[in-house]
Chain A
């Protein structure tokens, strides 16, 4: 037998092994997850939901679930990138994450009120950091507006805010939609939520 064949095969496998170490798995859109069952993939999206070790993310077109143990620092609204194998989880597919990177904390991504109004689908049910101006104050809530007062949103906050009318602020809160009266609103309800003076 020509010993050169197995020898070359082993060299080839070693070479392919090094390629596999340095090559990244395919970065896919969440709507294509089903095509990659059993394969390693990379996905990116904003955290929409968290239940135990299961994180639900959205990339704007579709949602997908990621199983991640010890990902306690991930919060609603964070932009994350996950790498892992696609597998079954009950009746649906999930990515069993080997690595999850937070690309942007929701707090760091300050968005304007008009931007939030025009991209509401992306943010409903998530933590947002919205910049705007105090429009009016009431007991238990206040209104936030943009600089031209084209957009206004109610912000529920049980504490008294130390800001005056027309002062520019950053509101860190959960963004909700109330289907009963077709209204969007913000709710400051977590220890890491709040209202801060906007600092350029």
Chain B
């Protein structure tokens, strides 16, 4: 019994460190690691421990991926909308504060997710079956999100133009085969271009201020965490709807838009999405992410039908607790290290380094076609900034193909 517990904690800790590595390398996802584990260790007979490792890595990734998004402006799907506010905080010398807010919001989000787990199970499945209601009405929900994203802009016509431009761009690239050195999708170069490059190129300051490393009094608002968790919970159960849509949904409903609030909401959404993807695997028996699909290959997933949390979901929840605790401190520690050292580099040089890292990652994962997608996406992102339209409008790149997929 004790040995089992030690093994669970050890694999969860190892997973947290793997997730930390994937989190701080832009473009690398835990799904890649999960697929790699499946290819190498599928016959090893340690399925449950590998699942613990994968879950821990998936949770940890959502804590750590704030770091490249904040300091070098290299976003992933779930952090795309976070780049501008987080990078703005770096330019105010508050990069470490952004990291601390994000880490705390993610940790708080895990706590709220645990509190809502049992209600989530009864709301989504028997007796309420909310899952079916959401699934049936998903295209309309997506249309409403799009409408909110567009109509909350000052210049609606410009917002519509950017939304459609990003949407058509999304339709064109969505099925392109961009896998280069590893299997990857065109979404990474698209989001890096739409959200990452313009944030770096249009940053007004030329000197990177000394980063404040005293972020003692960090607080996050309960309603920000609650909003993020709700959005993550709704989106996690739906097929083809990514955490980026959850972020857009969470932000669309938010009136106050301080950088701190946006960072907190999006970080909470990001972590909650992966938490509920895991829950969905046991509640509705659907795998809504690559890591959940790989887990299904390793273990027999049995439906959670009663009150008690079934085996092995209970072990995986222990992994979530271990991983989120380790990841919280890792995020702050690595974030502090980066914040401390980043101001030693001139801002012009930092931008060059950041853009080089993004370009290298885009090329390694998606090849020349990925670079072309990145270039076009950057032009759309820059047009969005020039027209003074909110960046969330660029989420048309995912929303339009998804909506049309339901109707065509």
Contact = CB atoms under 8 A, between A and B. Distances in A.
A20 B173 contact: yes
B310 interface: no
Interface in B263-289: 285, 287
Interface in B166-191: 168-169, 172-173, 175-177, 179, 183, 185
B240 A37 contact: yes
A39 B179 CA distance: 13
Interface in A1-31: 1-2, 5-6, 8-10, 12-13, 15-17, 19-20, 23-26
A12 B183 contact: no
Contacts of A20: 172-173, 175-176
B35 interface: yes
Contacts of A26: 177, 179
B364 interface: no
A26 B173 CA distance: 14
A13 B383 contact: no
Contact of B168 (A13, A24, A35): A13
Contacts of A35: 35, 183, 290, 293
B175 A16 contact: no
A91 interface: yes
A53 interface: no
A34 interface: yes
Contact of A38 (B239, B287, B293): B239
Contacts of A12: 372, 375-376, 379
Contact of A5 (B177, B372, B382): B382
Nearest to B405: A38
Nearest to A14: B172
B35 A5 contact: no
B357 interface: no
Contact of B239 (A1, A15, A88): A88
Contacts of B179: 26
A56 interface: no
Nearest to B287: A34
Interface string B242-271: 000000000000000000000000000000
In the complex, which of the residues B240, B373, B379, B387 has the most CB atoms of chain A within 10 Å of its own CB atom? B379
B288 to A, nearest CB: 9
B175 A25 contact: yes
Contacts of B285: 91
A6 B379 contact: yes
A59 interface: no
Nearest to B169: A13
In the complex, which of the residues A6, A9, A25 has the most CB atoms of chain B within 10 Å of its own CB atom? A9
B386 interface: yes
B290 A9 contact: no
B315 interface: no
Given A5-B379, A9-B165, A38-B239, A16 B173 contact: yes
B369 interface: yes
A13 B383 CA distance: 14
B149 interface: no
B172 A17 contact: yes
Interface of B: 35, 165, 168-169, 172-173, 175-177, 179, 183, 185, 239-240, 285, 287, 290, 293, 369, 372-373, 375-376, 379-380, 382-383, 386-387, 405
25 contacts: A5-B383, A6-B379, A6-B380, A8-B379, A9-B376, A9-B380, A12-B375, A13-B169, A13-B172, A15-B372, A16-B173, A16-B372, A16-B376, A19-B372, A20-B172, A24-B177, A25-B175, A26-B179, A34-B287, A35-B290, A37-B239, A37-B293, A38-B239, A39-B185, A91-B285
